[in-house]
Amino acid sequence: MTAKIGSKNIAQHRGKKERQEIRKMNIAREALKIEAARAKYRNQQKGQRPPAAAAA
């Protein structure tokens, strides 16, 4: 939950430009997470578990 100012959430007080910047940062952060996950399994065969040496 976001903090409140009176009866409104802080998010309601943000400007349009600030909300767009936050959205872009969130999308970029998720893209980094997805890329890291893909790199982890890039050369794996389907259905195979990673070798113990690579998992550690």
Which portions of the chain are predicted below pLDDT 70?
1-2, 4-5, 50-56
Provide the pLDDT for residue 40.
Answer: 84
Provide the pLDDT for residue 23.
Answer: 93
Whether the pTM exceeds 0.75: the reply is no
Provide the pLDDT for residue 25.
Answer: 97
Q: What is the Cα–Cα distance from 10 to 25, expressed in whole angstroms?
A: 18
Look at strands 8-9 and 4-5 and give their pairing. antiparallel
Provide the pLDDT for residue 54.
Answer: 55
Residue 55 in tokens: 């998992």
Say how many C-beta atoms besides its own lie within 10 A of residue 16's C-beta.
Answer: 7
